[in-house]
Structure 1
Amino acid sequence: MLEILLPILIFSALAVAVIGAVRRIRLWRQGRPSKVAILRGLVAMPRRYLVDLHHVVARDKAMSNTHVATAGGFVAAAVLMILVHGFGLGSSEGLGGIQGWLLLAASACMFVGSLFVARRRRNPPARLSRGPWMRLPKSLMAFSLSVFLITLPTVGVLPEGFLQGTGSWILALVLAAVLVWGLGEMVFGMTWGGPMKHAFAGALHLAFHRRAERFGGGRSTGLKALDLEDPEARLGVETPSDFTWNQLLGFDACVQCGRCEAVCPAFAAGQPLNPKKLIQDMVVGLAGGSDAAYAGSPHPSQGLGGKPVGEHRGTPHGPIVAREGKALVDADTLWSCTTCRACVEECPMMIEHVDAIVDMRRFLTLEHGNTPGKGAEVLDNLIATDNPGGFDPGSRLHWAADLDLPLMADVKQTEVLLWLGDGAFDMRNQRTLRALVKVLRAAEVEFAVLGNEERDSGDVARRLGDEATFQSLAKRNIATLAQYRFQRIVTCDPHSFHVLGNEYGELGGPGTPARYEVRHHSTFIAELYDAGRLAFAPWKGGSVTYHDPCYLGRYNGEFDAPRNVLKALGIEVKEMERSGFRSRCCGGGGGAPITDIPGERRIPDMRMNDVEETGAELVAVGCPQCTAMLEGVVDATAEVRDIAELVADALVERPTAPKSTGVQQPAVEEVTP
């Protein structure tokens, strides 16, 4: 009986799955076109899954092993089931016998993995979605156990007639029913919806990822530019269908594991943002309907502008954020993001949350001018004065009147172009800049500054969604830089460091793109020390911890250089629990202090609590925004100082001054934008 039923069940399930796949693809294709290397992506997908994706999953060893057993067992069992029970290649003799035994092994492996899934779901952490996901362990067991039992007679472990006769027919029907249950979740559910949907969408998402350069150990964190010259170009994202089709595919790949939720600083602060819920809101918009079926943590809402689950709804071509009535997302949800990329770094499906948020911000800012808080004022200042504070552009060097800083306009070429950033207008950061100048002179570095020719890098304008102002500032800076010759740019601002190095390249205009060799000051100081151009007195201060700036660490992968500098000073860093790529954001990025969305607590307060837990008396930083946010914490237990200040205080005269070093280039080369 089963030998008749099984092929019918298997191929019926596959046919329905194919129909569901076509339907799912049509949903994704509602999005805008996106250039992807389809064949190359499909060929690269297995490696991206087995290496890049599992590199993230492996951070949780238990879950990684569970996923290998369950997913690997399922893929092998599904293929072998088609061969053995679909095409009848599972006789107990010869090659068919090998296939049958392999099917037994694969289904057993999957069953063991499903036991660990069940254990995890017995009392799941708050970040995991419940609802349909709670039935997943049972479905995994149903599929693997039924396949295992049905295969036993095939390989001769049980007699061929075991499932014949009246009583055995009942058992056969029961096994067939259990298999239908498993097939429904595993095969049908992959393309029609349900917990296993991520397997189908996730595989294609890896193949057609909008940032293919992230795979193979690469890094891609720069925002993609809008084509403002194209009159048909969409200024940001208003509706789900305004996303590119592979962005919609990425949203659909979400496994609802909640890793993004667990590391999001805005969610922890009680602001109305949960990155997992935001992605699921986009999935609702993709297919149309409401979020009533969502079974995870909502956007925090306690009187802060959020809405309870069930009150968000939308359609593929309807607005994501509505001025009146119900929509997919509340505007405050988008403005709560600090763009720290903690969610992106933690996501095992490699979804790009920050890209999506900035795309939606662009529409609100460029089309409606709906930037909350002091956002509109800051953007107006950038347009009028080239700096967010609205200061007189001619006062950029007033703090350095006694330092006699060389100007690029005078020297024309130099080893290092020191990019001051808009910290030049801030009295606190001026201390950091003075310290950095002292360090450069102690190392006998040839450097110069742009002075009043320097404009804001455009970082805050771009993160607030004002792509037009960003591109205007960037292109004028590029034109200025093109006039001079230098080997590298050095800055103490990770935001300028990131934008100059990673986002100006698309805006170089005709000819070669504007790509510069940019160094964060901590990296450059480490190079100077290694080259013997700096010497330090032994550290005699108290205990120290180090705070990783998001735009230096997660965005650019620089975690070692600041710690190497502190080690050179004789400091043993007391690491916070959340450090390195899992560092907690200070709350200063993405224009968050400007939009100022209220929450239950402040992000910098939480970060200083992390500092307090280490018992450190001083927290070393490498970012003017981090300095401002952390020093703004009331009753802080630790002093906040920039690495440049610590180095400047520790400088001693070197015994010798080497003229040729590892950081000295053979000749000054022109950087052509």
Structure 2
Amino acid sequence: MLDTLLPILLFSALLLAAIGAVRRVRLWRQGRPSPAPIIRGLMQVPRRYLVDLHHVVERDKLISHTHVATAGGFVLAALLAIVVHGFGLDSTILAWVLLAATVSMFLGSLVVAKRRSPPPSRLSKGPWMRLPKSLMAFSIGMFVVTLPTAGILPEGFFQSGAGWLAALVLAGVITWGLGEMFFGMTWGGPMKHAFAGALHLAFHRRPERFSKRAGGEHRSTGLKPLALDDESAKLGVEVPADFTWNQLLGFDACVQCGRCEAVCPAFAAGQPLNPKKLIQDMVVGMAGGTDAHYAGSPYPGKPVGEHGGSPHDPIVARTGSALVDAETLWSCTTCRACVEECPMMIEHVDAIVDMRRFLTLEHGNTPNKGAEVLDNLIATDNPGGFEPDSRLHWAADLNLPLMADKREAEVLLWLGDGVFDMRNQRTLRAFISVLRAAEIDFAVLGNEERDSGDVARRLGDEATFQSLARRNIKTLSQYRFARIVTCDPHSFHVLKNEYADLSTADMPSRYEVFHHSTYINQLVTDGKLTFKAWKGGNVTYHDPCYLGRYNGEYEAPRAVLKALGIEVKEMARSGYRSRCCGGGGGAPITDIPGKQRIPDMRMEDVRETGADLVAVGCPQCTAMLEGVVEPRADIKDIAELVADALIITTPDEKATQSKPAPASPRATLEVMP
């Protein structure tokens, strides 16, 4: 019986899976066109899956090994089942390999079952709770039915009296397993992530994420520009169908593991954002329906079942309910913690900013002080609305060299809009003293410098960003310099990664840009700075999101602190898992309320280390952490710590140090033959 029934079950499941795949592809293709080479993309899936994706999955060793055993066992078992049982190839060797694959899959499914007994709060429940059982059903069913082919049970065993009953039970178990593994893979079950995920890797919106450069991983974190000169193009994303088709594909690849939820600072603060729920809402909008069947953590303070939509209905309604409330989008700090943690490499931040762009550019709907800040940027080229020609008033006593006078310098020091903040002026003064101690040839743009455009872009005002960026690019093109150095990771990021998209033949905009911590580390390595011994207390270091997750710089700041004699007491969440200070993405401007403040949570991380001082490398981080009510640790920028420890060498001392010491007679004798 099984010899006849099993091929029917296998090929019926494959046919239904193929029909589901066509239906699924049609859902994705509702999105806007996006270039993606089909053959080349498909050929790169194995490497992207085994290398790039597992680079993220391997951060949790148990789950990584479980995934290899379960997914690898399933893929091999499914292929061999089609060959051995579907086409009836009677091969003992293949049968034994099939048995091994099902054993691997079964062992992996046991770990999956244990992990969900009970599941952590970040994991979605509902249909996902049946997945371990379905994995076991497929693996056990295929294992038992293959035993006669492998020679372990006699041929015709399932045709005997007792065998008929076993055959009926096996047929039911295999049907269950095939239904989840094949049918559910393309029709919307928990295994959907396997089909959509593989194609997402092939046609990822940011294929640069899979490229490798000499010396490390190539990061792709700059936002994609809008074609503002195309009058027919919508400004941002209004409805799900406004996303590109491969963005919709990426949403569909979500495995609902909740890693993004676990690291999201806004979710932890009780603001109405959960990155996992947001992605699932986009899937609901793509297919049409409501979020009533969502079985994960909701947006804080917002019950499940009250939102819904369709591919061509607004994502955010001006009145009433839709897929997402506007305050959910404005809660995001754009810290990219969700993107960094996602094992399916989904781009949450891109989607959020795309939706913000429509709200800002088409509706002018930017909450709280957002509209005021954008108006200031348009009128005065800085978010605070200060007089543009007052950028250097704070430095009247420093006699800073201007590029307009020098025309050429080794370093162009990008001051940023921290020049209007008294606290950040201390950081800038400290860094200028470091540059002068190292005798660096530097200059500033002074009043020619404008806001980098970071805040405007994150708030969705692409038009103001591009206007500011083009003006800065035009100014920079007039001068010659080897590199740009800045104390602001946000300016560092846009100058390094986002201005290049606006490059023209007469105004190239690709620069060598350094964060000041990286540049100071280079000066230390080159022996241009010497320090007094550190006599302070315990120090921890806070990684800025736009320096770390956005640009992969974690080591240079720590190397500088080590050179000062400081042994960093690391926070539990540091490096690529550093908790955001809450200052990015315009979050302090839109100011969406929650149950607690993000910087308060970060300062609690500091308290757990027992540190007396927090070293930082970002004016936003300084402002947010210093806004925490005392008692708390002191906050100092790395430039301030370096400036305080500098040993200033006089010209006479340098001349003396540069003279070679006379060789001793003993040394001379030692080198004679």
- With the length of structure 1 as denominator, give the TM-score of the two structures: 0.96
Q: Secondary structure at the match of 2:186?
A: helix
Q: What is the rounded CA distance, in whole Å, between the counterparts of 1:241 and 1:332 in structure 2? A: 21
1:162 counterpart = 2:191? no
Matching residue of 2:222: 222
Contact 1:455 1:473 in 2 (8 A): yes
Q: What is the rounded CA distance, in whole Å, between the counterparts of 2:160 and 2:528 in structure 1? A: 89
- Please identify, of 436-445 and 34-43, the stretch whose mean Cα deviation from structure 2 is larger: 34-43
Q: What is the rounded CA distance, in whole Å, between the counterparts of 1:564 and 1:373 in structure 2? A: 40
1:136 counterpart = 2:157? no
1:26-71, Cα deviation, whole Å (9 max, x unpaired):
0000000001122111111110001111111111111111100000
1:624 counterpart = 2:623? no
Q: Secondary structure at the match of 1:489?
A: strand
1:465-513, Cα deviation, whole Å (9 max, x unpaired):
0000000000000000000000000000000000000000000134574
1:190-589 to structure 2, matched below 5 A, reads 190-216=185-211, 217-301=217-301, 307-510=302-505, 513-589=508-584
Contact 2:477 2:507 in 1 (8 A): no
Q: Secondary structure at the match of 1:637?
A: coil
Amino acid at match of 1:557: G
1:175-220, Cα deviation, whole Å (9 max, x unpaired):
0110000000000000001100000000000000010111143210
Amino acid at match of 2:82: I
Amino acid at match of 1:232: S
Amino acid at match of 2:413: L
Matching residue of 1:37: 37
1:122-170, Cα deviation, whole Å (9 max, x unpaired):
1111000000000001000000000000000111110112101343212
Q: What is the rounded CA distance, in whole Å, between the counterparts of 2:150 and 2:602 in structure 1? A: 60
Q: What is the rounded CA distance, in whole Å, between the counterparts of 2:388 and 2:88 in structure 1? A: 79
- State the number of aligned residues: 649
Q: What is the rounded CA distance, in whole Å, between the counterparts of 2:478 and 2:531 in structure 1? A: 37
Amino acid at match of 1:553: G
Amino acid at match of 2:2: L
Contact 1:251 1:351 in 2 (8 A): yes
Which of 596, 603, 607 is matched with 2:602 structurally?
A: 607
Contact 2:239 2:315 in 1 (8 A): yes
Point out where structure 2 has 5 or more consecutive residues left out of the alignment: 212-216, 659-673
- With the length of structure 2 as denominator, give the TM-score of the two structures: 0.96
1:573-603, Cα deviation, whole Å (9 max, x unpaired):
0000000000000000000000000000000
1:107-146 to structure 2, matched below 5 A, reads 107-146=102-141
Q: What is the rounded CA distance, in whole Å, between the counterparts of 1:208 and 1:600 in structure 2? A: 39
Q: Secondary structure at the match of 2:484?
A: strand
1:223-267, Cα deviation, whole Å (9 max, x unpaired):
000000111112000000000000000000000000000000000
Contact 2:184 2:192 in 1 (8 A): yes
Contact 1:132 1:195 in 2 (8 A): yes
Contact 1:506 1:513 in 2 (8 A): no
Give the Å deviation of 1:425.
0.4
Which of 177, 189, 192 is matched with 2:172 structurally?
A: 177
Q: What is the rounded CA distance, in whole Å, between the counterparts of 2:402 and 2:38 in structure 1? A: 50
1:641 counterpart = 2:636? yes
Contact 1:72 1:110 in 2 (8 A): yes
Q: What is the rounded CA distance, in whole Å, between the counterparts of 1:604 and 1:467 in structure 2? A: 28
Q: What is the rounded CA distance, in whole Å, between the counterparts of 1:396 and 1:27 in structure 2? A: 52
1:408–1:280: structure 2 CA closer, same or farther, 3 Å change rule? same
Contact 1:265 1:585 in 2 (8 A): yes
1:285-325, Cα deviation, whole Å (9 max, x unpaired):
01000000000000001xxxxx3100110000100000112
Contact 2:473 2:507 in 1 (8 A): no
Amino acid at match of 2:310: T
Q: What is the rounded CA distance, in whole Å, between the counterparts of 1:568 and 1:626 in structure 2? A: 23
Q: What is the rounded CA distance, in whole Å, between the counterparts of 1:532 and 1:342 in structure 2? A: 36
Amino acid at match of 1:352: E
Q: Secondary structure at the match of 1:370?
A: coil
Q: What is the rounded CA distance, in whole Å, between the counterparts of 1:512 and 1:73 in structure 2? A: 54
Contact 1:608 1:636 in 2 (8 A): no
Q: What is the rounded CA distance, in whole Å, between the counterparts of 1:656 and 1:121 in structure 2? A: 66
Point out where structure 1 has 5 or more consecutive residues left out of the alignment: 302-306, 660-673
Q: Secondary structure at the match of 1:122?
A: coil
Contact 2:477 2:508 in 1 (8 A): no
Q: Secondary structure at the match of 2:427?
A: helix
Matching residue of 1:151: 146
Q: Secondary structure at the match of 1:102?
A: helix
Amino acid at match of 2:111: F
1:636–1:357: structure 2 CA closer, same or farther, 3 Å change rule? farther
Q: Secondary structure at the match of 2:44?
A: helix
Q: What is the rounded CA distance, in whole Å, between the counterparts of 1:233 and 1:517 in structure 2? A: 33
- Please identify, of 161-170 and 572-581, the stretch whose mean Cα deviation from structure 2 is larger: 161-170
Q: Secondary structure at the match of 2:537?
A: coil
Contact 1:620 1:640 in 2 (8 A): yes
Which of 577, 581, 585 is matched with 1:590 structurally?
A: 585
1:73 counterpart = 2:73? yes
Matching residue of 2:56: 56
Contact 1:274 1:298 in 2 (8 A): yes
Q: What is the rounded CA distance, in whole Å, between the counterparts of 1:624 and 1:238 in structure 2? A: 33
Amino acid at match of 1:390: G
Amino acid at match of 1:280: Q
Contact 1:3 1:85 in 2 (8 A): yes
- Please identify, of 213-222 and 639-648, the stretch whose mean Cα deviation from structure 2 is larger: 213-222
Structure 1 runs (4+) deviating above 4 angstroms are none
Q: Secondary structure at the match of 2:478?
A: coil
Q: What is the rounded CA distance, in whole Å, between the counterparts of 2:37 and 2:87 in structure 1? A: 34
